[in-house]
């Protein structure tokens, strides 16, 4: 990054990547830029990371991303693993589910972690600082324009100074009211739910143990208590009935507490409220994730109901998908058309996400007779047995934890050699152990990974000799013993290779023991 003094006194900053917004999306993208050694600036109008706890659920895929930054362990240590869910009717336990082992065998993080957004942001910001980077706090994007060659933005600092920033690329991580999205004139179609949500972090005295997510089975609304780290601390999330006419911001905490007491319908004492908020839920996504040299990520590109705790996690993965593509293009290793795949892959994901969260929201809080019946009568009876079945458990975990996201339809997924495999190009690299260690331990470097699985190490000797002349800045390779459990995962019992993209999605698979398919793949990237 270069700060130059302009003739008129304004500062001109030149950089490769300009990130607008330091919420979880902007901070996580900045961390990825650090991994790839990119030059970037982050602009944020707030004075520091958020103090509000906001998002709570951190999923396995996010923890896999954090692992590469060395942040998974601190997050798990500081958070609370969701171990159980209890369904309550007037304080009486109607059903209890074990959540702690839902994803066993699918990831190193087979659970949902409760770890507040404020703490996620702090963790990511600390990573930036440890790597000599920072955020330009109290600096607001005012306007920007792009040409074929660059993006130029005007920003204003807290003391009224205006600065000009020029960059190769601008990424709008500026939240649901995104100025970047509005300036680009991109649509944000969808709907707004009429119901008003409330959320509060507080201590609760009751007879229930602090070991589970407590779900109240109510007739026409939602009321859930999530355990937070600390004695008797909980996140309370609920909805007001449809007839409740007040707007966000007009609701007093006393009204929320009254609502909690009424809906819970058993004795509890809420006290030491640290934070509360009310909000309307929207379900919208942007018409396209990019235009020219400008991109959108996180809530700027998609907003949805809180069911499944997907928002922050999805924003972090938008950035994860985009960063390696920017890195390749900026380093001249790929043609700029690679960046189009960001829109293709993440727009499809956003559309799918909105469909699933809308449906889940209807079941969780819908007020018509069918959803009420499903929620209060069918679910507590059926769900505890259903979730013990492996296929159900794995389907639900893959969906919620985001490890099931795949890009099979992407142009970056080369299917020529994958017909006889269980795993397909575009899938997330499956998790398994090799010699007792997670395969992901070999996949932490920010580059492509070529994994050669064979029973006889010499199978790939010719290929390894060829690879020795390759630029290892962008590709590493590992010869891995084809153990029986690995053969089962891939559905392949003979020597094969897997090329992984830097975000650990399968680019291609092949039983060829030559470099030909890999060479062709890279040639297509640099078209
Ligand atoms: C109560 C609640 C519970 C939630 N629970 C979950 C959950 O459990 N799991 C989950 O994954 N998600 C959850 N979410 C959603 C989650 O909070 C959002 O998806 C997440 O904050 C999106 O992050 P972001 O960085 O994209 O946007 P934001 O967090 O909105 O950050 C955008 C940033 O851009 C800055 N900005 C905006 N305009 C400008 C400008 N012009 N110049 C400079 N800076 C600007 C803003 O100040 C802000 O800091 C929850 C949300 C709420 C409200």
Q: For the chain, give every domain's residue range.
A: 2-78+114-187+284-357, 433-525
CATH of domain 433-525: 3.40.30.120
Cβ(153)–Cβ(139) under 8 Å?
A: no
What is the per-residue pLDDT for 6? 56
| Residue bearing the CA closest to ligand 1, atom 38 | 174
* CA 142 to ligand 1: nearest atom: 41
Q: Left if phi > 0, otherwise alpha if psi is -120 to 50, otherwise beta: which for 461?
A: alpha
* CA 155 to ligand 1: nearest atom: 42
| Residue bearing the CA closest to ligand 1, atom 33 | 21
What is the per-residue pLDDT for 2? 66
Give the pocket of ligand 1 (CB within 6 Å): 20-26, 43-46, 54-57, 117, 140-141, 173-175, 179, 199, 279, 298-299, 306, 309-313, 315
What is the per-residue pLDDT for 374? 66
What is the per-residue pLDDT for 370? 66
| Residue bearing the CA closest to ligand 1, atom 1 | 54
What is the per-residue pLDDT for 199? 92
What is the per-residue pLDDT for 497? 94
How far, in Å, is the centroid of ligand 1 from the Cα of 175? 5
How far, in Å, is the centroid of ligand 1 from the Cα of 58? 14
Mean pLDDT (the chain, rounded) = 91
Which tokens sit at 344? 């293709």
- Ligand 1, from 20, 21, 139: best to mutate by most atoms within 8 Å of Cβ? 21
Residue ranges for the chain with pLDDT beneath 70: 1-9, 363-371, 373-375, 377-378, 381, 527
How far, in Å, is the centroid of ligand 1 from the Cα of 478? 39
| Residue bearing the CA closest to ligand 1, atom 19 | 311
| Separation CA 367–CA 243 (nearest Å) | 11
If we measure between CA atoms, which residue out of 190, 177, 182 comes closest to residue 283?
A: 190
CB-based contacts of 314, cutoff 8 Å, min separation 6:
298, 302, 349, 350, 353, 402
* CA 50 to ligand 1: nearest atom: 49
- Ligand 1, from 177, 198, 296, 299: best to mutate by most atoms within 8 Å of Cβ? 299
| Separation CA 220–CA 200 (nearest Å) | 20
| Residue bearing the CA closest to ligand 1, atom 4 | 55
What is the per-residue pLDDT for 175? 98
CB-based contacts of 269, cutoff 8 Å, min separation 6:
204, 205, 206
Which tokens sit at 460? 């790939």
* CA 56 to ligand 1: nearest atom: 8
Enclosing H/E stretch for 97: strand 92-98
* CA 277 to ligand 1: nearest atom: 1
How far, in Å, is the centroid of ligand 1 from the Cα of 201? 17
What is the per-residue pLDDT for 333? 93
**DSSP secondary structure letter of residue 196:** E
Assess if CATH 3.40.50.300 describes domain 2-78+114-187+284-357: no
How crowded is residue 245: how many other Cβ atoms within 10 Å of its Cβ? 9
| Residue bearing the CA closest to ligand 1, atom 39 | 174
Query: Strand 496-500 relative to strand 448-454: parallel, antiparallel, unpaired?
Result: antiparallel
If we measure between CA atoms, which residue out of 52, 110, 120 comes closest to residue 81?
A: 110
Any idea what the Cα angle at residue 65 is, between residues 61 and 71, rounded to 5°?
120
* CA 314 to ligand 1: nearest atom: 11
* CA 303 to ligand 1: nearest atom: 19
């Amino acid at each position: 990054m270069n700060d130059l003094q302009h003739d008129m006194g304004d500062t001109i900053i030149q950089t490769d990547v300009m990130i607008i917004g330091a919420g979880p999306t902007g901070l996580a993208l900045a961390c990825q830029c650090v991994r790839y050694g990119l030059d970037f600036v982050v602009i944020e109008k707030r004075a520091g990371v958020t103090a509000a706890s906001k998002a709570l659920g951190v999923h396995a895929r996010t923890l896999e991303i954090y692992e590469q930054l060395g942040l998974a362990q601190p997050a798990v240590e500081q958070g609370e693993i969701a171990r159980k869910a209890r369904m309550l009717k007037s304080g009486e336990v109607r059903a209890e589910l074990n959540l702690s082992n839902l994803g066993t065998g699918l990831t190193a993080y087979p659970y949902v972690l409760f770890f507040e957004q404020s703490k996620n942001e702090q963790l990511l910001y600390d990573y930036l600082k440890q790597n000599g980077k920072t955020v330009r706090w109290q600096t607001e994007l005012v306007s920007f324009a792009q040409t074929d060659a660059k993006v130029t933005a005007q920003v204003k600092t807290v003391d009224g100074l205006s600065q000009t920033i020029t960059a190769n690329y601008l990424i709008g991580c500026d939240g649901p009211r995104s100025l970047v999205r509005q300036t680009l004139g991109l649509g944000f179609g969808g709907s707004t739910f009429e119901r008003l949500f409330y959320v509060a972090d507080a201590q609760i005295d009751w007879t229930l143990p602090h070991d589970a997510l407590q779900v109240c089975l109510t007739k026409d609304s939602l009321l859930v208590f999530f355990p937070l780290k600390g004695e008797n601390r909980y996140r309370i999330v609920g909805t007001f009935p449809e007839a409740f006419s007040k707007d966000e911001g007009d609701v007093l905490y006393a009204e929320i507490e009254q609502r909690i007491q009424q809906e819970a319908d058993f004795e509890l004492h809420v006290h030491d409220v640290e934070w509360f908020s009310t909000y309307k839920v929207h379900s919208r996504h942007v018409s396209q994730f990019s235009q020219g040299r400008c991109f959108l990520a996180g809530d700027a590109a998609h907003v949805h109901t809180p069911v499944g705790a997907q928002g922050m996690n999805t924003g972090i993965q938008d950035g994860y998908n985009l960063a390696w593509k920017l890195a390749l293009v900026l380093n001249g290793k790929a043609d700029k058309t690679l960046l189009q795949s960001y829109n293709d892959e993440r727009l499809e994901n956003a559309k799918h996400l909105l469909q699933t969260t809308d449906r889940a929201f209807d079941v969780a809080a819908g007020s018509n007779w069918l959803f009420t019946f499903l929620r209060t009568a069918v679910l507590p009876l059926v769900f505890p047995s259903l979730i013990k079945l492996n296929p159900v458990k794995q389907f639900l975990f893959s969906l919620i934890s985001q490890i099931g996201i795949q890009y099979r339809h992407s142009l970056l997924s080369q299917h020529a050699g994958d017909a006889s495999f269980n795993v397909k190009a575009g899938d997330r690299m499956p998790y398994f152990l090799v010699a007792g260690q997670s395969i992901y331990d070999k996949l932490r470097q920010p580059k492509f990974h070529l994994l050669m699985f064979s029973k006889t190490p010499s199978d790939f000797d010719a290929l390894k000799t060829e690879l020795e002349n390759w630029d290892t800045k962008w590709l590493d390779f590992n010869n891995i013993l084809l153990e029986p459990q690995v053969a089962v995962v891939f559905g392949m019992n003979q020597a094969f290779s897997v090329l992984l993209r830097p975000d650990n999605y399968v680019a291609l698979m092949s039983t060829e023991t030559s470099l030909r398919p890999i060479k062709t793949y890279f040639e297509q990237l640099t078209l």
